[in-house]
Amino acid sequence: MSARQTSSGRIRGWPWLLLAPALALAVGLLPAWFAPWMYDDYPRWVLLSLGVVLSLMGVVAAQRRLAARLQRLGRVLRQAMQDRPENRIQARAMGVPESAATVLNELIEQLHQSRSASRGESARLLAHLRQELSNERAARERAQTDLTEARAAAQFKNDLLSNMSHELRTPLTAILGFSELLEKTPLNRQQAEYVSTLSKSAENLLSMINSLLDWNRIEAGRLSLQQISFVLSDCIEDVTGLLSPLAYDKGLQIALLIYHDVPLRVSGDPVRLQQIVTNLLSNAIKFTERGEIVIRVMREQGKDERCWLRISVADSGRGISEAQMERLFEMFTPSSTSNRTPSSGLGLAITQRLCELMDGRLEVESEVGIGTTFSAVVALRPQLERDSALVTWDGLRGVRLWLCDARSTTRLALLHHLEYWGLETRLFESPRRLATALLESDTQGPRLVIAGITPEALDDVQWRDVFGACRQTQRPCVALISSSDTEVQHAITDAGAARCLPQSIGGGPLYQALLDTLAGQPAEPGQKPLQDLEVLVVDNTVASRRYVSLLLDSLGAQTQEAGDGREAVRLWRERRPPLILMDVQMPELDGPGAAREIRAAESGSGARCGIIGMSAHLEPEERQEVIRAGMDEVLLKPFDERQLLRTLRPWVQQCRPADPPPQAADGADAPVRLAHGIAPELAELLLEELPLQIKELEEIYMRGERDAIRSAAHQIHGTAAFYKLAELRASARRVEQSLAAVGKGLPENLGDDIAEIREATNRVLRELRGE
């Protein structure tokens, strides 16, 4: 229907409603107006009023009628809107024009149709949504079940792996330990090869177990880092020292450069930092056939609160192709094509995650055939900057030193140290030149010579000339050799070098070695590292216990064994050994339990023995628990001689009985002798510390407290050992021994022995004050 039809319909259908009042008005008014003669008898106004009343009545009637129709129309429309299709507008009954009724009915029909269409659509949508919702609910329930199952499986896997690792490590400890001991016995070449293969395979297996365990911990989010204060250079040098023999075996050179702006002491997780460096360095050694590996440690950014260090390991190996590079940090995807080198592909993935845990990253740059540089950037908290360190490196300042090393990187690394220590260094590239210059030198010649040699160059007659010239001109020569073979080292000292050290020696030990050489101290102390140190070894596994005891014995210690914690506490009460190495997990009374009992018994006596835990597997939280129980450190099994010595280092200085008094160069007794190179600050400390210690000893002696006297004497013994004060050390030890010899009460001549300690102390103090 068109708009035109609609409007015309409306005009034609409704006029009478409007015309009704007008007609009434006309009937009433027009005769009165135009035919006055007809109504002479009536006044005109009466007619007029009648007309008005009639027309008003007409209007009212018309309005009511109109309102009634409109109401009906509204009702019908409302019902139609409420979707009652039987309600349609009846034109005649409602007095609505036909055309309008048609239009309205059509509109109602359309509305109805679109309503039912949209109702159908909504019903369909609703059904769809309901289906989706129920699918979703089912999926969620399935996921929840899967998650619970996966969690249970992961927990089971973790537990299994931890237990397995513990079970595997214990026999591995024995295999590795006994192969190490076997290697020290006389073997023919074939036997030596078998043993070496045996221990290498066991080491690979162990490293695989460790990697898997670490990855498991990282994935489970259970790897938390420790915050321990440690000396950064020691931490890195330990790794390079440990791995350098592998590099030397392949004829590779290793140089370590720690820049001077790197803090001396930092706080962080030294074990995990070592793990990062170990992974990178062992890979560099594994994938490099010739050339050198340079490890650089530098400060990247940050100063006070935190600093980011960059530890880069650059090798001259085969490099990594672009294709390999893409999958480099994915686990179980070793890109090695060589099947000689066992690889799980876990190392780099773990290293990367460790760097990220230390708020840093792992970077790699590589060129095929040229080499690879991995850089670990990690955040640590600086604790002591080099400049503000108590120990100053003044003992060698101004000393003239000639250095000869044909390899530019190792020369650079050495020069880096020598310049820092203030030596006046002259460089030589060829041994022939050095030998000639030595023979021609006068009083302006060097006071020390360093010769950096590779084992292949050893047969070179020019080096023999250098050693000969050194001997002839009485210039002590320190040889640094890239070999860990003691026979090679002996051959060099036999040829004339004052001492021969591995090239991987750390800065601190090299400094001490140069000082000792300058002072004419013999190279070999002639004493084993743990000479006469009493150690109680506690382990319920006989093989592990025997291995540890044998290892300690071979290092000069005097060992005693206990099979569990209960026996350990009993033996400790009887003999009071200064050091205990104790397994953590044991039946009856475990390690932490025994440590608690020992610490409780010690309390108030002032004495404190060292308790080192041994464990095949320990989570960081468990480690904290063990330390809280009273243990001082925990050694992870299996460990070798080097790791054992490193852990025992702090106790060895304190506990070791007196060395025989050192002999002076001319063979006469040296009554009081300070260690060479004692920095003035350390001497100051000694001046403060020693009078307090002796005062305490004398006071305790006056009170007659037996155990406390022993512990005070032990403390003085430790101080004297640290500063190499032979006489004081011997007298303090005498007091300790005489107290140990008499079971109860005080020995007769204790007063005299203590007076001797006092005299020895006074002599040291006088010497220190320069009186």
Mind spelling out the 3-state secondary structure of 658-698?
Answer: CCCCCECCCCCECCCCCCCCCCHHHHHHHHHHHHHHHHHHH
Part in contact with ligand ADP (CB under 6 A); list of ranges 13-21, 310-318, 542-550, 599-607:
310-318
Cβ proximity to ligand ADP: between 136 and 356 the closer is 356
Return the amino acid letter for 746: L
Burial of 668 (0-12, 13-18, 19+ CB in 10 A): exposed
Which of 341/749 has CB closer to ligand ADP?
Answer: 341
Quickly list H helices, 287-360.
Answer: 322-326, 346-357
**Between residues 336 and 521, which has the closer beta carbon with respect to ligand ADP?**
336
Interacting residue with ligand ADP among 47, 94, 328, 739 (CB under 6 A): 328
Stretch of 315-323, 399-407, 436-444, 542-550 lying at the interface with ligand ADP (CB under 6 A): 315-323
- Identity of the residue, 340 or 769, whose beta carbon is nearer to ligand ADP in the bound complex: 340
Q: Which of residues 334-363 bind ligand ADP (CB under 6 A)?
A: 334-336, 343-349
Interaction residues for ligand ADP, span 233-292 (CB under 6 A): 279, 283-284, 287
CB of 211 to ligand ADP, least distance (A): 6
> Dihedral (C-alpha) 730, 733, 734, 739: value to the nearest 10 degrees?
170
Q: Which is nearer to ligand ADP, 33 or 332 (CB)?
A: 332
Q: Minimum CB separation from ligand ADP for residue 330, in Å?
A: 9
Given a contact cutoff of 8 angstroms between Cβ atoms, the answer to whether 31 and 38 are in contact is yes
Q: How far is CA 633 from CA 127, 316, 463, 671, 726, in A?
A: 68, 38, 45, 36, 29
- Retrieve residue 171's tokens: 């026999």
Q: How far apart are CA 410 and CA 417, in angstroms?
A: 11
Q: Is 509 exposed, middle or buried (0-12, 13-18, 19+ CB in 10 A)?
A: middle
Out of 55, 216, 253, 372, the only residue in the binding site for ligand ADP (CB under 6 A) is 372
Among 320, 448, 501, 537, binds ligand ADP (CB under 6 A): 320
- List C-alpha distances in Å: 546 to 171, 196, 199, 229, 272: 13, 21, 18, 33, 30
Residue 314 or 418 having the CB closest to ligand ADP: 314
- Between 343 and 541, CB nearer to ligand ADP: 343
Smallest separation, CB 157 to ligand ADP (Å): 20
Q: Indicate if the alpha-carbon torsion angle 78, 84, 89, 93 is positive or negative.
A: negative
Instruction: Let me know: does 263 contact 232? Beta carbons within 8 Å.
Output: yes
* CA dist., res. 503 & res. 454, Å (int): 9
For the chain, the residue count is 771
Name residues contacting ligand ADP, limited to 539-558 (CB under 6 A): none
Distance, in Å, from the CA atom of 391 to the CA atom of 675, rounded to the nearest integer, reads 14
* Identity of the residue, 117 or 370, whose beta carbon is nearer to ligand ADP in the bound complex: 370
Return the range that interacts with ligand ADP (CB under 6 A); candidates 115-123, 312-320, 651-659, 687-695: 312-320
- Are 293 and 314 in contact, with CB atoms under 8 Å apart? yes
Say what angle helices 750-769 and 726-741 make with each other, to 10 degrees.
160
Nearer to ligand ADP, 6 or 335 (CB): 335
- For ligand ADP, the closer of residues 318 and 714 by Cβ is 318
Beta strands in 592-750 (DSSP E): 610-615, 633-636
Cα atoms found within 13 Å of the Cα of residue 525, Cβ hemisphere only: 11
Q: Which residue is nearest to ligand ADP (CB)?
A: 347
Pick the stretch among 333-341, 432-440, 619-627, 720-728 that binds ligand ADP (CB under 6 A): 333-341
- The least CB distance from residue 249 to ligand ADP, in Å, is 17
Number of residues that bind ligand ADP (CB under 6 A): 20
**Which of 317, 496, 613, 630 is close enough to bind ligand ADP by CB under 6 A?**
317
Cβ distance to ligand ADP smaller for residue 44 or 361: 361
Q: Is residue 401 within 8 Å of 420, Cβ to Cβ?
A: no
Q: How far is the CB of 377 from ligand ADP (least distance, A)?
A: 17
User: Using the rule CB under 6 A, is 392 a contact of ligand ADP?
Assistant: no
Question: At how many degrees (to 10) do helices 706-723 and 641-655 cross?
Answer: 120
Q: Least distance from C-beta 278 to ligand ADP, angstroms?
A: 10
Residue 345: CB minimum distance to ligand ADP, A: 5
Q: Rounded to the nearest whole angstrom, what is the least distance from the CB of residue 504 to ligand ADP in the complex?
A: 18
Assess contact for 662 and 644: CB atoms under 8 A.
Answer: no
Using the minimum distance from each CB to ligand ADP, give the nearer residue, 76 or 346. 346
Using CB under 6 A, which residues numbered 161 to 220 contact ligand ADP?
none
Residues near 579 by Cβ (< 8 Å), separated by ≥ 6?
533, 534, 535, 536, 609, 610, 611, 612, 648, 651, 655
State which residue, 320 or 495, has the beta carbon closest to ligand ADP: 320
DSSP code, position 263: -
- CA dist 517 and 486 (Å) reads 19
Query: Closest approach of Cβ 331 to ligand ADP, in Å?
Result: 8
- Shortest Cβ 319–ligand ADP spacing (Å): 6
What's the rounded Cα separation, in Å, for the pair 466 and 431? 6
* Residues 6 or more apart whose Cβ sits within 8 Å of residue 116: none
Residue closer to ligand ADP by CB (options 232, 328) is 328
Q: Nearest approach, Cβ of 335 to ligand ADP (angstroms)?
A: 4
- Nearest distance from residue 617's CB to ligand ADP, in Å? 20
Q: Give 350 or 438: the residue with its C-beta nearer to ligand ADP.
A: 350
Minimal distance, residue 548 CB to ligand ADP, in Å = 29
Placement of tokens 């109401």 in the chain? 71
Sign of CA dihedral 326, 329, 333, 335: positive
Q: Which is nearer to ligand ADP, 191 or 321 (CB)?
A: 321
Question: Shortest distance, CB of residue 317 to ligand ADP, whole angstroms?
Answer: 5
Instruction: Say if residues 549 and 559 touch (Cβ distance below 8 Å).
Output: yes
Helix axes 591-602, 620-628, angle to 10 degrees: 30
Q: Which stretch binds ligand ADP (CB under 6 A): 62-70, 213-221, 229-237, 328-336?
A: 328-336
If you count DSSP H runs as helices and E runs as strands, how many of each does the chain have, helices first? 24, 17
Q: Are 421 and 398 in contact (CB under 8 A)?
A: no
Minimum Å gap between C-beta 353 and ligand ADP is 11
Interface characters, 720-759, with ligand ADP (x: CB under 6 A): ----------------------------------------
Nearest residue (CB) to ligand ADP, 47 versus 346: 346
The single residue among 315, 405, 465, 534 that binds ligand ADP, judged by CB under 6 A, is 315
Cβ distance to ligand ADP smaller for residue 285 or 469: 285
Q: How far is the CB of 316 from ligand ADP (least distance, A)?
A: 10
Distance in Å, CB of 413 to ligand ADP, minimum: 20
Distance CA 544, CA 546 (A): 5
Name the segment binding ligand ADP (CB under 6 A); options: 65-73, 126-134, 329-337, 479-487. Answer: 329-337
Q: How far is the CB of 310 from ligand ADP (least distance, A)?
A: 17
Residues of this chain that bind ligand ADP (CB under 6 A):
279, 283-284, 287, 315, 317-318, 320, 328, 334-336, 343-349, 372
